[in-house]
Amino acid sequence: MKTRARKRWRACVGVGESERRKKEEFSRIKFMIVHDQIYRLHEEKKVENRHFQSRAFVKNFLMLRRICLKYGQFFFGIFLGIAANHFFAAKSSNSSSTSVENAASFSSIPILINGDTDNRINGVRNDETDEVYFPWIWLKSFFDVFGDFGGEKDEFIFKNSYSEMNYKGDEEYTPMSSFMTFGNYRVESRERVKLISGVEGVPFSTQWSPEGYFYPVQIAQYGLAAFSRNVTTSSYDSQAYTASCGTSFNQNSDPPCSINVFQKHSNSYLTVCFEHLSAGSSIIVDHSPRISTSDSKERTGRVEIHYIASKVPEEVPMIEKAEKRGFAAMITIGIGERNRPGCISRDIMNDALKGLGKRNQKSVRHFRGKMDKINSIKFVGEGVIKSVKLAKTGYLEEFKSAAVWLRDHQTENGTWPIDVGKERIDYPDLIPGWTSAMAQGHGISMMVRAANSLNDSSFWLAAGRALESFKKTPKENGVRNLVFGKFVWFEEYPFQDGLFVLNGFIYSLIGLYDLAASDNAPDSLKIEAKALFDEGLNSLKTLLPLFDGGKGSFYDLGHVVKKTSPNLARWDYHTVHVQQLPFYKKIKDEPVIESFALRWEEYTKGNYASHN
């Protein structure tokens, strides 16, 4: 039954094909609603398949097609649904008439938005009840709401917010536990992460500059996400391999030094440890990932990645893509000079996706993929290999890389500077080298976890140095500011006039808490961090009502400072606010903060503040 029905509906769907492409999502919704209605009515009325072949139905269908041609495919769903309902009802009651003329009458009607004659959309009116139907694609945009099919596409789910609540604050939080919801983060997959640097082992960002730079906030989030997943992952499989040449390889190796894997598995995290790799040596991975984009089907193709031990970018690019016969692409990633003992750890699947998506824009083209098969690993040049391992994940290695980078790139003043400028309307530009309270807070959270898990006191020293920025004003390259000249605020963006961004401030407080609450931290650092945390917490409790927008939250208080239009938080940022506030439910009994968390969560469900 469904197959025959689809064939008939396609005749109507085909009208206005170019328009259908422009409104693909809306057309898909209409089609599924109509198809579901017809199928459900068929089952309820127990209409036999032969009814679809009746001459009366064909006559009615041709009439519907003429309606489509007259009013455009925009309204075909409503006409078709009403006609089908009337048809089945008439059949089940042995009615002699099955024409759509006896069904409820619908007509096209222009809708003037807010009475503006220059702002019209096309709607549909029920001529009997005067009920007016608005197109979903317009409702979605105008009211900033969302929806999609759920389950077996037998229902439509309407949502006020597109963000999901993953953190309620019910779990116990310690400086060594998972960092809030960061276990769900895939920082390396973000479109504005160019790649995980082959030299540093941390994200190389294009967040605010297409040329790319190392962004301390993103690097800390990468490390905190890896730490969180490592805490919640009990174990993961790994497999060791031995190269055909043993441990040493050179240009004269015959046959060439390689590992023939040729097996299907999901282990795509490669770790190669070595005594040394001579300049220009390569580790070449031949694999077959299954790749797809948002608008294409999944396909399998061979990809070859060359990890080259040479200076970056003087001798080899950070990442490059080229064509190669028999392969979907050949990707080159520079890993720097490797003439001393060490290891290289790479997520092969992520490197393939970044290479395939490389383009001369701020964002990498987004691909999805999973490993289908690794064919071989080859070693070209000269070097001595100690071990080769393939694992499903490399969370601990990723965390270590981020922690070491942050420790080694901290300034003498204890800051992790942001090396690109930042613009904001009504404020002077921040010049490269500015300090962010969010970077300082995330950095402290990383140093605390690294000091405890790696048993290295150098990370405690770095955490202590980071506290200095919380005592200095933006003019002194610090992050400490005052709201109304009274309440301490740690600035994510340290404009001297004050912007007072909420989410970055709260993250900075969590970093201070991590240091103050860590059992193994030096007492002097714990006392200092607690004093700063208490100052910030008092400001948060006092000023939180200023961020309440009645149906969402404000991203910052720039409108209070500059007397301008408020900056409403996008739903994903509002969700961050909602998930940050319950953090205080576990560490402190703060009913004021908890009440805002509950109310703001209701905003995501459409339960807004009351009118007078």
pLDDT exceeds cutoff 80 at 181 = yes
Q: pLDDT by residue (tens digit) across 400-442?
A: 999 999 999 999 999 999 999 999 999 999 999 999 999 999 9
pLDDT of residue 113: 94
pLDDT, residue 161, reads 86
d(C-alpha 535, C-alpha 518), whole Å = 19
Work out the percent of the chain whose per-residue pLDDT is above 90. Answer: 63
**Exposed, middle or buried, 468 (CB in 10 Å: 0-12/13-18/19+)?**
middle
pTM of the entire structure?
0.81
Angle at alpha carbon of residue 383, lines to 378 and 388, rounded to 5°: 50
pLDDT at 64: 54
Segment among 196-210, 228-242, 427-441, 591-605 with least mean pLDDT: 228-242
Q: With the CA atoms of 371, 311, 220 and 196 taken in that order, what torsion angle do they form, in degrees rounded to the nearest 10?
A: -20
Compute the mean pLDDT over every residue in the chain, rounded to the nearest whole number.
Answer: 85
Lowest mean pLDDT among 22-36, 465-479, 533-547, 579-593: 22-36
Q: Determine the average pLDDT of the residues in 13-25.
A: 43
Query: What backbone phi and psi angles, to 5 degrees, belong to 481?
Result: -135, 175
Candidate ranges 34-38, 209-213, 540-544; pick with highest mean pLDDT: 540-544
Neighbouring residues of 254: CB distance < 8 A, sequence distance ≥ 6: none
**What pLDDT does 53 receive?**
45
- Look at residue 79 and tell me whether its pLDDT is greater than 70: no
State how far the Cα of 435 lies from the Cα of 469, in Å rounded to an integer. 8
Band the pLDDT of 212: cuts 50, 70, 90. Answer: very high
Q: Residue 4's pLDDT is what?
A: 42
Q: What is the mean pLDDT of residues 278-283?
A: 96
Q: Each residue of 164-175: pLDDT tens digit? A: 777 766 678 899
Mean pLDDT of the region 544-555: 97
- pLDDT tens-place string over residues 328-357: 899 999 999 999 999 999 999 999 999 998
